[in-house]
Amino acid sequence: MDTHNQSLFDLRINDNLRIHLRSAAVVAGIAALLSFASSILKVVTAFMNKGKTSLEYRYEGFNQTTASVERTSSIAGAIVTLVISILLFYFLNRFSTKTKTGLNVNNPQIVNTGFGGLSGYFVTLGILLIIFLALFLLFIVGMMAGSASR
């Protein structure tokens, strides 16, 4: 049996593939930065809106409270979102930087490391999706059990 170490992504990189990989790496880097910035702004907004519970609209100079709104985004939720975003940013940024570096120096091992970052990104997303679907399912079962007991 052949036991030599072979990479999962044993690619032969030609000019066309190099162009497309570089474009994908640039888009991934931009997406990582925008996602991370969005999460930071969400935390800042959660701290700024601490304690606000109603919306007030002005109609022709008159103040009128049209709706009392409970805050749906809490500080804890924003911080959890930030932690998840940092984790996803790490993997996506690793893909972006390693892939661009590997393509620039024509080193397939560095490109493979970049793909490892992309693999980690998708594995993390899959795990988070399974966790959130399980929590949603528990919520639905709890709601059904609560309505059945009435």
- Please tell me the predicted confidence (pLDDT) of residue 113: 92
Nearest by Cα to 95 from 38, 29, 34: 29
pLDDT at position 47 is 84
pLDDT at residue 98, rounded to an integer = 95
* Model pTM score: 0.72
Per-residue pLDDT tens, the chain, 150 aa: give them.
444 445 545 667 788 888 999 999 999 999 999 999 999 998 898 888 776 665 555 566 665 555 444 455 588 888 899 999 999 999 999 999 999 999 999 888 899 999 999 999 999 999 999 999 999 999 999 999 888 776
pLDDT value, residue 57: 57
Name the one residue in this structure whose structure tokens are 């930030």: 82
Residue 147's contacts (CB-CB under 8 Å, 6 or more residues apart) are none
H runs (alpha helix) in the chain = 15-48, 75-104, 108-148
Environment class of residue 28 by beta-carbon count within 10 Å: exposed (0-12), middle (13-18) or buried (19+)? Answer: buried
Q: pLDDT tens, 61-72?
A: 665 555 444 455
**pLDDT at residue 40, rounded to an integer:** 93
- Residue 53 has what pLDDT? 60
pLDDT of residue 31: 95
CB of 79 closer than 8 Å to CB of 43:
yes
pLDDT attached to residue 2: 46
Domain boundaries, the chain: 15-144
Tell which residue, 39, 3, 8, has the closest CA to residue 113: 8
